[in-house]
């Protein structure tokens, strides 16, 4: 974004702040250090360099601003995120509209919402097979910090009864974390009912480009300490992008190696999640989730993909061998954001040591090859406005495993949040 646009945004913001009924700032400054893994597919880190990543320390500053106001009985919300990063010896600044929507009460039971908004319909913590309206989550960051997410453009009409609600949602863009943004029309609907204390939602999604998705989810509390939740979705054909080398008649390498070639299959692909949250005494919480997706690679497919890449690397001369490596790394980056394989297990533990100190630990285990991402985190609250945090991402696994081959092996993030 050029300087003139930045200035224009600020000129718009100042009157916006004066005009709005409620506004809030949230600043995040973080330093991070990333180590890239040298592997069969990334010798000397050359493919990582080719993808434009640089190792070593980086700093970035995020500024989130949220404005709320009411004009002509329309309730408005604007969420902006500005970022300033120093990478590759240059400054990179962006300003992004994360949410910008208005809502209006059409009656005491009917609500209309339109604009760019982040909606969440799932009940899961790290996985949401039924969340057809939400931006995609990154599996290697299960918390998927919502302040950094970007909403979808949509119109939503929701009817609220006593213990039920019915929502229709029309979406025009779906933004995916994998950087594949799709422009499409999608109609999603949800029927929610609280039945015998259980939150139950039935969800459907009609898409111009894809076959319909049908799903349901639930959440319930059992006894004093246990919350259970689950989600299930089904879709005819798979619209996941696979590396083309999985196909029988594949070539050695491709300019664009990804393809959703299973989209026209007649069999149904299921995604399901089951999980629970348990509250121990002394402020300790434990969340565990099992996630299965039919769309993921089988162990055999994964192995063949790895073998083929290794073969390509051994046969080709520069510069082609680098292309093959980049293809694979790029694919891994995309797959691992959404889960490349079929079965995962998440464990999350949060310990509130006292009012100001919080420890968290997240572990995402790939049950196909037992590779894992381990994310320990420390939060220290300083006064009412500052929070210091430290977070690691540790990718572990043997060679040929998903997280073992992930190009990032370790990263350390240290930051401070100001509210």
Instruction: Please tell me whether residue 150 binds other proteins under the rule CB under 8 A.
Output: no
Half-sphere exposure of 31 (CA within 13 A, CB side): 4
* 3-class DSSP state of 396: strand
Instruction: Please tell me whether residue 239 binds other proteins under the rule CB under 8 A.
Output: no
Instruction: Please tell me whether residue 384 binds other proteins under the rule CB under 8 A.
Output: yes
**78 or 306: whose CB is closer to other proteins?**
78
How many residues belong to the chain?
Answer: 419
User: From residue 299, how far is each of 84, 305, 311 by CA, in Å?
Assistant: 41, 10, 18
How far apart, in whole angstroms, are the C-alpha atoms of residue 289 and residue 304? 28
Instruction: Please tell me whether residue 329 binds other proteins under the rule CB under 8 A.
Output: no
Min separation Cβ 387 and other proteins, Å = 11
User: Which 245-264 positions form the footprint of other proteins (CB under 8 A)?
Assistant: none
Instruction: Please tell me whether residue 219 binds other proteins under the rule CB under 8 A.
Output: yes
List 31, 88, 163, 264, residue binding other proteins (CB under 8 A): 163
Instruction: Please tell me whether residue 365 binds other proteins under the rule CB under 8 A.
Output: no
List 7, 195, 226, 353, residue binding other proteins (CB under 8 A): 226
Instruction: Please tell me whether residue 45 binds other proteins under the rule CB under 8 A.
Output: no
Instruction: Please tell me whether residue 111 binds other proteins under the rule CB under 8 A.
Output: yes
User: From residue 163, how far is each of 23, 65, 196 by CA, in Å?
Assistant: 32, 34, 11
Min separation Cβ 186 and other proteins, Å = 18
User: Which 62-91 positions form the footprint of other proteins (CB under 8 A)?
Assistant: 66, 68, 70, 75
How far apart, in whole angstroms, are the C-alpha atoms of residue 377 and residue 417? 14
Instruction: Please tell me whether residue 100 binds other proteins under the rule CB under 8 A.
Output: no
**109 or 315: whose CB is closer to other proteins?**
109
Residue position matching structure tokens 């330093």: 31
**CA 201 from centroid of its chain's CA atoms:** 21
Instruction: Please tell me whether residue 120 binds other proteins under the rule CB under 8 A.
Output: yes
DSSP state of 124: -
List 1, 19, 21, 176, residue binding other proteins (CB under 8 A): 21
Min separation Cβ 30 and other proteins, Å = 17
What tokens does 226 get? 């246990």
List 15, 52, 56, 162, residue binding other proteins (CB under 8 A): 162
> What are the φ/ψ torsions at residue 234 (nearest 5 degrees)?
-135, 140
Min separation Cβ 283 and other proteins, Å = 6
Instruction: Please tell me whether residue 197 binds other proteins under the rule CB under 8 A.
Output: yes
**5 or 24: whose CB is closer to other proteins?**
24
> What are the φ/ψ torsions at residue 326 (nearest 5 degrees)?
-65, -40
Q: What is the DSSP string of 335-373?
A: HHHH-SBSEEEEEEEEEE-SSSEEEEEEEEEETTT--EE
Instruction: Please tell me whether residue 103 binds other proteins under the rule CB under 8 A.
Output: yes
List 179, 181, 283, 299, residue binding other proteins (CB under 8 A): 283
Instruction: Please tell me whether residue 160 binds other proteins under the rule CB under 8 A.
Output: yes
Rounded to 10°, the helix 320-338/299-315 angle is: 160
- Nearest CA to 58 out of 80, 90, 26 is that of 90
List 351, 352, 414, 416, residue binding other proteins (CB under 8 A): 352
Residue 101 burial (C-beta neighbours within 10 Å; 0-12, 13-18, 19+): buried
Instruction: Please tell me whether residue 310 binds other proteins under the rule CB under 8 A.
Output: no
Query: What is the torsional sign of CA 307, 308, 309, 312?
Result: positive
Instruction: Please tell me whether residue 118 binds other proteins under the rule CB under 8 A.
Output: yes
Instruction: Please tell me whether residue 146 binds other proteins under the rule CB under 8 A.
Output: yes
Instruction: Please tell me whether residue 102 binds other proteins under the rule CB under 8 A.
Output: no
Total residues contacting other proteins by CB under 8 A comes to 47
Residue 235 burial (C-beta neighbours within 10 Å; 0-12, 13-18, 19+): buried
How far apart, in whole angstroms, are the C-alpha atoms of residue 373 and residue 178? 18
- Nearest CA to 26 out of 68, 57, 61, 73 is that of 61
Q: Which residues bind other proteins (CB under 8 A)?
A: 21, 26, 66, 68, 70, 75, 103, 108-109, 111, 113, 118-120, 122, 134, 146-147, 158, 160-165, 167, 192, 194, 197, 199, 219-221, 223-227, 229, 277, 279, 281, 283, 285, 352, 355, 384
């Amino acid at each position: 974004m050029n300087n003139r646009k930045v200035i224009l945004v600020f000129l718009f913001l100042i009157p916006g702040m004066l005009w709005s009924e409620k506004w809030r700032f949230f600043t995040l400054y973080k330093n991070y250090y990333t180590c890239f893994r040298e592997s069969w597919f990334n010798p000397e880190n050359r493919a990582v360099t080719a993808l434009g990543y640089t190792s070593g320390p980086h700093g970035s500053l995020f500024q989130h601003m949220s404005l709320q106001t009411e004009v002509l009985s329309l309730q408005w919300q604007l969420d902006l995120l500005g970022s300033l990063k120093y990478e590759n010896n240059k400054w990179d600044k962006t300003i992004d509209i994360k949410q910008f929507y208005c809502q209006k009460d059409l009656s005491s039971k009917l609500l209309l919402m339109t604009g760019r908004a982040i909606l969440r319909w799932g009940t899961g913590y790290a996985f949401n097979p039924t969340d057809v309206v939400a931006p995609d989550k990154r599996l290697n960051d299960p918390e998927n910090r919502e302040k950094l997410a970007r909403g979808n453009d949509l119109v939503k009409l929701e009817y609220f009864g006593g213990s039920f609600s019915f929502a229709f949602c029309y979406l025009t863009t779906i933004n995916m974390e994998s950087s594949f943004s799709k422009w499409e029309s999608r109609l999603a609907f949800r029927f929610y009912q609280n039945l015998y204390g259980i939150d139950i939602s039935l969800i459907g999604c009609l898409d111009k480009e894809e076959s319909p998705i049908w799903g349901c989810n639930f959440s319930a509390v059992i006894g004093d300490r246990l919350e259970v939740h689950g989600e299930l979705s089904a879709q005819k054909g798979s619209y996941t992008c696979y590396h083309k080398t999985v196909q029988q008649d594949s070539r050695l390498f491709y300019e664009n190696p990804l393809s959703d070639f299973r989209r026209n299959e007649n069999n149904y692909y299921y995604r399901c999640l089951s999980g629970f949250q348990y509250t121990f005494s002394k402020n300790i919480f434990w969340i565990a989730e099992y996630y299965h997706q039919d769309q993921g690679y089988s162990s055999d497919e994964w192995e063949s993909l790895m073998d083929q890449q290794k073969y390509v690397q051994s046969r080709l001369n520069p510069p082609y061998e680098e292309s093959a490596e980049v293809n694979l790394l790029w694919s891994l980056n995309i797959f691992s954001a959404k889960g490349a394989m079929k079965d995962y297990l998440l464990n999350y533990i949060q310990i509130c040591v006292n009012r100001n100190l919080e420890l968290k630990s997240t572990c995402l285990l790939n049950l196909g090859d037992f590779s894992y991402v381990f994310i320990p985190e420390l939060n220290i609250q300083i006064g009412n406005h500052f929070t210091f945090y430290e977070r690691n991402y540790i990718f572990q696994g043997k060679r040929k495993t998903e997280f073992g081959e992930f190009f990032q092996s370790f990263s350390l993030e240290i930051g401070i949040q100001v509210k």
